[in-house]
Structures are given as structure tokens and as C-alpha cells.
Amino acid sequence: MPLRLTSVAFRQGGDIPKKYTCDGDNVSPPFAWSGAPEGTRSFLLICDDPDAPAETFHHWAAFDIPPDWRGLREGHGAASLTNGFRQAINDSGKPGYSGPCPPLGDKAHRYHFQLNALSEASLPVAPSATCLEVITLATRYVLEFVELVGLYQRLMKHKPRRVGE
């Protein structure tokens, strides 16, 4: 059975609820997975935005997730750093999850939540490692990966005009 990643918060290609974004509670959605390949010693879950204006924006890298876990509950963020796994410094410069936050008025951005089954139990990175550093190091240990892509768009809010303006 291939590795599978799902969320009760959104479906493949669906809209990510505001709760899990910078416009809401800015906490991670819940995830469930199954089908880990033989030899899996840990998991890495990342969230990237390839539609960011400059280059891919790394929102999250949760790693050293124990191999017997079958998901993560919702609510991980900067305040939940001691929870049985490690979290890297995201591109906002903070540890933990930083939810989708595309520029106001941009088209919907695609957020790639990628689960990686790793052959290594613990990644040898410093506590100050960035998401990109974790992702780069983990590449050599990936046994299998799967992606769940969600969409999020921040619409412009129009200020009401007064008569005569």
C-alpha cells in the first residue's frame, strides 16, 4: 500500500480553512497518514508555497516524528515546540508552523503539505535549523513521499467610500 496523507480540514486541491492561516488562528491543520514503507524510522512533514512572489516560501518542517505515529493533531505552531517531534525555523524566521499568508489580492496560492517517510530516526541538525536545511538534509533519507495540496487566497477588502469621494 503506498504512503497516503489526508486531512479532515481540506481535501486534495481544496481550500484551506481560514483557521489554519495568518488570517485565523495560524495553527497547523490535522493530518492522518497510512502505508509507511518498510524501514521507516521517522517522518518529516513540510509545508511549502511555490507560488510565493520571490521563491518557494517554507512554512513548516516538522521532523523526527516517531515511525509509529499515524498523524498529527491540529494546533501546532510556535507555542507547541515540545510535542514529541522537532520543528525547524520557517521562512518567517520563527520556529514551528506559519500558516498560509499570500499577498492580499494575489490569485490563490498552492500549499504543498508533503509527508516524507525517512530511513533515519533523527536528523542531525542544530536546534536553529531552517526548513530548507532540514529538507535538504532529509533528501538522502527519503524512502517515499506523498503530497496533499491545499489552496488559500486573501481577498482585498474594499473600504467603503463616503458620498462625494
Type of residue found at 41: R
**The C-alpha cell of 102 is what?**
499570500
Indicate if the pLDDT at residue 76 is higher than 60: yes
Q: How far apart are CA 30 and CA 7, in angstroms?
A: 6
In order, the DSSP letters of 12-48 are: TT-BPPGGGSTTTT--PPPEEEE-PPTT--EEEEEEE
Query: pLDDT at position 141, please?
Result: 98
Q: Does domain 1-39+70-119+129-144 have CATH number 3.90.280.10?
A: yes
> How many Cβ atoms from other residues are within 10 Å of residue 7's Cβ?
23
Query: pLDDT at position 9, please?
Result: 98
Query: pLDDT at position 77, please?
Result: 66
Residue 133: partners with Cβ closer than 8 Å, 6 or more residues away: 88, 125
Residue with cell 509545508: 47
Residue with cell 458620498: 163
Query: pLDDT at position 10, please?
Result: 98
pLDDT bucket at 84, cuts 50 / 70 / 90: confident
Mean pLDDT of 108-132: 97
Mean pLDDT of 20-27: 94
Query: pLDDT at position 54, please?
Result: 87
Give per-residue pLDDT as tens, 85-95: 999 999 999 99
